[in-house]
Chains A and B, each alone.
Chain A
Amino acid sequence: KNQVEQSPQSLIILEGKNCTLQCNYTVSPFSNLRWYKQDTGRGPVSLTIMTFSENTKSNGRYTATLDADTKQSSLHITASQLSDSASYICVVSATTGGGNKLTFGTGTQLKVEL
């Protein structure tokens, strides 16, 4: 069964600090991995997408890494800001005969405090 597990479940950090969120998956056959940011009360917004051959992808202060061998991904946030407070969702896509099938993680709830 395809699964995506994220850790930690929640995290509180001080403004300006860095943090790293983890995503482990057992999805096959792997197509790509995407990180979404979901602000409270809003729909998820895509941050990065990585295919099998990509190890790192950056989007401003967000840097995602992918190790396809160990089936792990991380999202590193540099110099955190209050606006980074949100849920971060890892989504892994599997290639199927009927098109790509998405498996969602349950998210990491990040709170950035002063």
Chain B
Amino acid sequence: EAQVTQNPRYLITVTGKKLTVTCSQNMNHEYMSWYRQDPGLGLRQIYYSMNVEVTDKGDVPEGYKVSRKEKRNFPLILESPSPNQTSLYFCASSLTADTQYFGPGTRLTVL
């Protein structure tokens, strides 16, 4: 089944404790992206990747890192999480930047 998977689905952590949210797709898509979704603000792009070893900042990249060492994986790294990064995170993939398939989401709470 074609899908985008994210892990973990739910995470509660404390300020400053490094964490990684994994994202994997099995559709051989070149384009992958991370978003955060906050009430009243909609989806905002954090980082995106056009292909392996190619990443670029989205609209809200501060406090986040990504890597794209393999085509199928695009992990999101929070080196030192802060409470303002409490949010719902979505990974998405697509053949182009338009037709995006979203993962199920990761709800992160930073205390």
Please name the residue on chain A nearest to B105 by beta carbon. Answer: A43
Give the Cβ gap from B42 to chain A, nearest Cβ, in Å.
4
Stretch at the interface among B68-76, B78-86, B91-99: B91-99
B97 to A104, Cβ gap below 8 A? no
A34 to B98, Cβ gap below 8 A? yes
A42 to B104, Cβ gap below 8 A? yes
State the CA gap A43–B53 with chains docked (Å).
26
B100 to A99, Cβ gap below 8 A? no
B40 to A106, Cβ gap below 8 A? yes
Give the Cβ gap from B72 to chain A, nearest Cβ, in Å.
17
A104 to B43, Cβ gap below 8 A? yes
Give the Cβ gap from B87 to chain A, nearest Cβ, in Å.
14
Please name the residue on chain A nearest to B91 by beta carbon. Answer: A43
State the CA gap A43–B104 with chains docked (Å).
5
Do most interface residues of chain A lie in helix, strand or loop, or is the interface mixed? strand
Q: A45 interface residue, CB < 8 Å from B? A: yes
Q: B34 interface residue, CB < 8 Å from A? A: no
Q: Which of A32, A43, A49 contacts B103 (CB 8 A)?
A: A43
A41 to B105, Cβ gap below 8 A? yes
Give the Cβ gap from A50 to chain B, nearest Cβ, in Å.
12
B105: A residues at CB distance < 8 A? 41-43
Q: Which of B4, B42, B96, B103 contacts A106 (CB 8 A)?
A: B42
A100 to B96, Cβ gap below 8 A? yes
A99 to B97, Cβ gap below 8 A? yes
Give the Cβ gap from A46 to chain B, nearest Cβ, in Å.
7
- Known contacts A42-B104, A43-B105; is A100 also within 8 Å of B97 by CB? yes
Contacts A43-B105, A102-B97 given; 8 further ones with Cβ under 8 A?
Answer: A31-B98, A41-B105, A44-B102, A49-B98, A99-B50, A99-B97, A102-B100, A104-B44
Q: Which 9 A-B pairs have the closest CB atoms?
A: A43-B102, A106-B42, A100-B97, A104-B43, A104-B42, A99-B97, A44-B102, A43-B90, A93-B98
